[in-house]
A and B are shown apart, each in its own frame.
Chain A
Amino acid sequence: MTTFEAILLTIVTASTPLLIAALGELVAERSGVLNLGVEGMMAMGAACSFAAAVTFDSTLLGVAAGMLAGALMAALFALVVLGFAANQVGSGLALTIFGLGLSGLIGAPFVGARRDPVAPVDIPGLSDIPVIGRLFFEQDLFVYASIALTILVAIYLTRTRSGLTLRSIGENHTSANALGMPVWRVRFWAILFGGACAGLAGAYLALVYTRFWSPGMTAGRGWIALALVVFAAWRPGWLLVGAYIFGAATVLQLHAQAAQFGVPSQLLSAVPYLATIIALLLLSLRHGRAIGAPGSLGAPFVPDR
């Protein structure tokens, strides 16, 4: 395997958690709920998946624990923003602070432990194609799952009745409610889906990407996932493109650090964050304002009587 191929492979690994987390958030936001807790749910997913995987020596159980942890965190968020109609921005921030703290408690006993690499799944025949064969057809299951999930979410949002309901609720919850759509129930499941995805993304980070746990290992990826949703104008297809551009930026800056160009390593480490700001800026320059944002995004829903 050449260095070039190796770099391309790591780009896929770096992009996958961003894509998975952003997909979950995209669905929640399309239903009209802004959950800024992605970073916290991801951190919990990483800590719980790693703890479970080490304790039971099973990647599968680890993944399940990560998704469950993310979903439970999301349920807490749903209780506060749906049940109590609390401010979504504040509650999401609180969820992030809480998740980062609690994940530290859960992960602390597992610092220093390591997991074996997860074996890639090779698609016979296709993986023999030079360069792109290894890149696209000899990845771990998560990568395939993330691509499949992107397609499923796209189909769900545009081609199914339930997806249309979810979008109408996100566009205008008052009208949707007047038409008899179950605003709370749909949003509850959308939030839960977002949490499970963030948890899965965290599990991927801990079990595949680093294969160890350390405090603060999510390093702002949850926030980048949130920015990706805006960047993709709330469309799953663009999310795929955006996640891979960001993954590439992250990996290339790591390689640039290793190559020691005489540029301070901190400047290169800042690249993903600066790139996020620049991407958001370019997007606004082109369209004037954030396009595609669901109409009721972030507004608490209290039915008229």
Chain B
Amino acid sequence: MRFELTPRTNVSPVMRALAPVAAFIVSFLIAGFVIWLMGRSPIAAFEVYVTQPLSDPWSLQELLVKATPLALIAIGLSYCFRANLWNIGAEGQYVIGAVLGSWLALRTHGTEAGLWVLPLMLLLGIIGGALYGLIPAFLKTRFGVNEILTSLMLVYVAQLILDYLVRGPWRDPKGFNFPQSVTFDPSATLPPILEAGRVHYGAVFAATAIVLTAVILGRTLFGYRLKLTGDAPRAARFAGFSSKATTMSVFAISGGLAGLAGISEVSGQIGQLQPSISPGYGFTAITVAFLGRLNPIGILVAALVVALTFIGGESAQIMLKLPLDLTQAFQGILLLCVLAADALVSYRIRFVARGGGK
């Protein structure tokens, strides 16, 4: 028994749209099996992971809070992935954006700084993330260094920079030696959209990024250029599109959005700098981007779905004593299933008896 792959000639859009859904169901079944192996009830786990968060207003808000950074980062990554460039260092760009933006919050702490602080912080967040994202892009375009490895290595460096700052120069002197900065002033805090609500303005930024990206990808020359660079690099060169300029711009965009996600999370959600400011949003966003098929609307849906696994994971840890690592393992399996489902849509798999066929 062996199998053969044949490219499908015409793929229906329905199948393309259903592939991630099928992938999601398969990964749920696998996760259920793992939970069963661990001696727990998969049905009780499903209840905690999915049903409860979706039926509780507090959790629904929390869902939007968690989906915000995921959507922002994943939207940025979709530019890179469309151009077939592999920025896997969004986690680092997120951290550096948060650090640069927080610098202003800490500098103006305790002063009568006005309304200009917050917009400038957000801008610094974008700039920090973009500049950090441009490092691997520059190394790639100028020297031909593989962007996968450099962007990933820079994640570790960014985390160490943050660690140094909150344990050293930026530590709150009145913080009982805890490694954390002072709590941001109200002028440096991203406010909630609704009074007393949990969802901060980062959600608005994410929504804006999604709409803008839909327009850019569908309606502009730049969007066409990305698609061409990814699908047919030779044709893109003949069309006069510089692959270097494309590389630099997509890394700047994805780094900038990751940086915006970082500073929004710190100033809108955490309220201070700590050694850890992300449960791995930058890596999970890769899963979100692919689950959403690199499509803006798809990414919105995928960010909400994957945010659910974070919230479900947290409550499962408390209620069922299921470790948080289960969530990460699930996200990995989900990405594998999504990629496999993508391939299944593009190819027909035929099983051929050994000796038969070719």
Chain A interface (Cβ < 8 Å from any Cβ of B): 36, 40, 76, 80, 83-87, 89-91, 93-105, 108, 215, 220, 223, 226-227, 230, 264, 266-267, 269-270, 273-274, 276-277, 280-281, 284-285, 288-290, 300, 302-303, 305
**A223 and B149 in contact (CB under 8 A), knowing A94-B339, A95-B332, A270-B157?**
yes
Given that A84-B343, A87-B339, A264-B164 are contacting pairs, would A102 and B144 also be in contact in the complex, using a CB cutoff of 8 Å? no
> Which of B56-64, B104-112, B183-191, B319-327 participates in binding chain A?
B319-327
A-B CB proximity, top 5 nearest: A98-B332, A104-B325, A101-B328, A101-B329, A97-B332
- Residues of A near B325 (CB, < 8 A) are 100-105, 108, 215
Neighbour of A281 across the interface among B139, B330, B344, B358, CB < 8 A:
B139
- Given known A95-B336, A101-B331, contact A86–B287 (CB-CB < 8 A): no
B residues near A (Cβ < 8 Å) are 3-7, 34, 38, 86, 88, 139, 143-146, 148-150, 152-154, 156-157, 160-161, 163-164, 167-168, 283-284, 286-287, 290, 323-333, 335-336, 339-340, 342-344, 346-347, 349, 358
Interchain Cβ contacts under 8 Å between A and B, 14 examples? A86-B340, A90-B335, A94-B339, A100-B332, A101-B326, A101-B330, A104-B329, A105-B329, A226-B149, A277-B139, A277-B150, A281-B143, A300-B343, A305-B6
Q: How far is the CB of B222 from chain A (nearest CB, A)?
A: 23
> CB-nearest residue of chain A relative to B88?
A93
Are A94 and B332 CB-contacts (below 8 A) given A269-B160, A280-B145, A288-B144? yes
Contacts of A87 in B (CB 8 A): 339, 342-343
Q: Chain A residue with minimal CB distance to B143?
A: A284
Residue from the list B4, B144, B145, B332 in contact with A99, Cβ < 8 A: B332
Q: Distance in Å from the Cβ of B314 to the closest Cβ of chain A?
A: 15
A215 neighbours in B (Cβ, 8 Å): 325
Kindly list chain B residues whose C-beta atoms are within 8 Å of the C-beta of A302: 5, 7, 347
> Besides A84-B5, A280-B145, 20 other CB < 8 A contacts?
A84-B343, A91-B335, A93-B88, A97-B283, A97-B287, A97-B332, A101-B325, A101-B327, A101-B330, A103-B325, A223-B153, A266-B161, A266-B164, A273-B154, A274-B153, A276-B153, A277-B139, A284-B139, A300-B343, A302-B347
Query: When the two chains form the complex, which single residue of A80, A89, A100, A226 contacts B328, counting CB atoms closer than 8 Å?
Result: A100
Which one of B34, B152, B164, B339 lies within 8 Å of A223 (CB-CB)?
A: B152
What separation, in Å, do the CA atoms of A99 and B329 have in the docked complex? Answer: 7
Residues of A within 8 A of B347 (CB): 84-85, 302
Task: Name B331's contact: one of A36, A91, A97 (CB within 8 Å).
Answer: A97
**In the complex, which residue of chain B has the Cβ closest to the Cβ of A107?**
B325
Please determine whether A267 and B144 come into contact, CB atoms closer than 8 angstroms: no
Interface pair B335/A94, CB less than 8 Å apart = yes
For the complex formed, measure the closest distance between the CB of B88 and the CB atoms of chain A, giving whole angstroms.
6
Interface centre among A36, A96, A105, A300 (most CB of B within 10 A): A105
| Complex: A247 Cα to B4 Cα, angstroms | 44
Instruction: State how many angstroms separate the Cβ of A52 from the closest Cβ of chain B.
Output: 17
Task: Say how far A242's CB is from chain B's closest CB, in angstroms.
Answer: 13
Q: Which of B5, B139, B339 contacts A91 (CB 8 A)?
A: B339
Contact across chains for B344 and A84 when beta carbons are under 8 A apart: yes
User: Which of A98, A100, A305 gathers most chain B CB within 10 Å?
Assistant: A98
Shortest distance between the CB of B344 and any CB in chain A (Å): 6
Asked if A280 and B339 sit within 8 Å, CB to CB, the answer is no
CA distance A108 to B6 in the complex (A): 43
Q: Is the CB of A83 within 8 A of B3?
A: yes
Give the residue of A86, A93, A95, A276 whose beta carbon is less than 8 angstroms from that of B342: A86
| B287 CB to nearest A CB, Å | 7
- Minimum distance in angstroms from B154 CB to a CB of chain A: 7
For A89, the chain B residues whose CB sits under 8 A away are 86, 148
Report the nearest B residue to A288, measured CB to CB: B144
Cα A290 to Cα B145 in complex, Å, equals 7
CB B282 to nearest CB in A, in angstroms, measures 11
Distance in angstroms between the alpha carbons of A159 and B30 in the assembled complex: 43
Minimum C-beta distance from B316 to chain A (A): 12
Shortest Cβ distance from residue B324 to the other chain A in the assembled complex, whole angstroms: 8
The reply to whether A105 and B144 contact each other, CB–CB distance below 8 Å, is no
Instruction: Please name all residues of chain B whose beta carbon is closer than 8 Å to the beta carbon of A264 when the two chains form the complex.
Output: 164, 168
Once bound together, how far apart are the Cα atoms of A215 and B323, in whole Å? 12
Whether B336 lies near A91 (C-beta < 8 A) is yes
Q: In this complex, what residue of B is CB-closest to A220? A: B156
Nearest residue (CB) in B for A94 is B335
Q: A274-B157, A280-B146 are in contact. Are A101 and B86 (CB under 8 A)?
A: no
Interface contact A97-B149, CB-CB below 8 Å: no
* Docked pose: A175 CA to B347 CA in angstroms: 21
Q: Are A93 and B144 in contact (CB under 8 A)?
A: no
**Residues of A close to B329: CB separation below 8 A:** 97-98, 101-102, 104-105
Q: Which residue of A lies closest to B163 (CB)?
A: A266
Min CB distance, A91 to chain B, in Å? Answer: 5
- In the complex, chain A residues whose CB is within 8 Å of the CB of B156: 220, 270, 273
Q: Indicate whether A108 sits within 8 Å of B323 (C-beta atoms), given known contacts A80-B339, A89-B148, A94-B287.
A: yes
